[in-house]
Amino acid sequence: MNMKKTIVGTLAAFTLSVLACATNPATGEREFSLMSESQEIAIGQQSDQQVRQEMGVYDDEGLQEYVSTLGQRLAAVSERPNLPWHFTVVDSPVVNAFALPGGYIYLTRGILAYLNSEAEVAGVLGHEIGHVTARHSASQYSRATGAQLGLILGSIFVPAARPLSGLAESALGLLFLRYGRDDELQADELGIRYSTRSGWDPSGVAGMLSTLDRIGAQSEEERIPNWLSTHPAPADRVQRVQSAIQTARAEAPDSRTVNRDVFLQRIDGIVYGDNPDQGILRGSRFLHAVLRFSLDFPTGWSVRNSPAQVVAKRPGADVYLLLQPAEQAQGQSLEDLALSDMREAGFQSVSSGRTTINGLDAFVGTYQGSMENLGRVGLRAAHVLHDRNVYMLAGIAPEAGFGEEENVFNTSIRSFRPLTAAEAADIRPNLIDLYTTRTGDTWESIAERMSKGVVDPATLAIMNGRSISVQPTSGERLKVVIAG
């Protein structure tokens, strides 16, 4: 969670006076053009500022330059080489890649941990370039704007928390809209086309799809949107691209570049999972090294950290705990801030009062109100002052069962405490490392010895392009996760 004040503005709407018929540059087919190229570029530029603000840019100039160089090489052989193409690695642990209109392409550092060669990176980048060249991303934006759709940042994991987020609707909701099956298949084929034209082995597209499908097979039911929630992957998708790969190889037999070792060297040492600068989860404890606080969530709950808030959910129930910053006006008391926040969110106070939590000034209250998709709910909230910042901690449950959850909420809220300088300095990220296997190594033994529970054996296998049933062989160069 990046606790800095976020600035999210709704992008200016564009008006279409006429629907002009144009030729799709990637397909050669005539179709209605929903926006001009200049509008695409303008939207991409504006949205890029939001992506960088809300998701953050991963702090590794060498990796950024490497990915940009690959992307520019692919874009140069596309049907729209003159777009102002930009390629950025964003500082997110989620496995995802996405495109905005006008040539803005993003990979998360999370997806890089699961790719296994430069050819696979080219496959992902080429696929996203295809969404731009075929104007799929422009169509998505147009549909979202036309239907007045938006995704409130910080409410990805639990839409019910939207009234508490305090953020405006954002055009970044586009990033989490699903493409249609035909668009996906077309983007796959375009990714193969661009990879082959650039000299990479087109089978990298199939490789990255196979890995992403394995991720989907083990995905939790509820999680922050990733590639598989924004890029539907039908069961026959990997098989369908094989035909296009064979055709591409026949037309360009010299396109065989894989560059596995080069890619592995580039991602050696990148952060895996949460970045301590944005808060990090250790077991059920959330720690923020920069802002120097910790908070314990209930054991066994699913916890998701987004740029605007941290949300925990009881498995199988609509019961939530969340942590997010609150903006205190100059001279405003904690009580006034808390009651004002709750009123604006549509909640009425049942009981409330000043208190302290681990030596910190706090205002704690019980509230009642209604929330989207949940109906009538009870809410236990604390506004806590720590190092000149105010944080809101809130437990939410359906009104009928709120009393049963109140002790759980209070325990978590009361666990909020400052960290000492030494404690904050001791918070280190999990990192990707390279490891050469030895005789007798298994996914289980490697995960236990190297990762200390940070990743399980099945995840480690998937990260290296395998299923858990196919054990590594002696002498292989693998990616592993070193626990922080």
Asked whether residue 2 is assigned to any structural domain, the reply reads: no
Domain count, the chain: 3
Last-in-domain residue among 225, 242, 272: 272
Q: Are residues 72 and 150 in the same domain?
A: yes
Q: Are residues 382 and 285 in the same domain?
A: yes
Q: What does the pLDDT read at residue 158? A: 30
Are 190 and 168 within one domain? yes
Tokens of 288: 């923020």
Q: Determine the pLDDT at residue 53.
A: 82
Task: Give the model's pLDDT for residue 484.
Answer: 80
CA dist 400 to 71, 376, 379, Å? 53, 8, 12
In this structure, the answer to whether residues 254 and 229 fall within a common structural domain is yes
The residue with tokens 């992307």 is 71
pLDDT at 255: 80
pTM: 0.79
Range of the domain at 456: 430-482
Q: Answer whether residue 13 is part of any domain.
A: no
CA atoms within 13 A on the CB side of 301: 26
Q: Is residue 9 part of a domain?
A: no
Question: Are 470 and 420 within one domain?
Answer: no
pLDDT at residue 179, as a whole number: 72
What CATH number has the domain bearing residue 329?
3.40.1000.10
Question: Partners of 367 in the beta sheet?
Answer: 349, 379
- Predicted confidence at residue 21, as pLDDT, reads 55
Question: Which parts of the chain have pLDDT scores under 50?
Answer: 4-20, 146-176, 220-225, 234
Quick one: 27 and 158 in the same domain? Answer: yes
Nearest-CA neighbor of 456 among 281, 464, 448, 315? 448
State residue 399's pLDDT score. Answer: 95
Residue 238, pLDDT score: 78
pLDDT in tens, 144-158: 554 332 332 222 223
Q: What six digits make up the tokens of 53?
A: 């603000």
Domain match, 374 and 406 both: yes
Do both 412 and 474 map to the same domain?
Answer: no
Q: CB neighbours of 243 closer than 8 A, spacing ≥ 6? A: none
pLDDT the model gives residue 31: 63
- Partners of residue 392 on adjacent β-strands: 324, 383
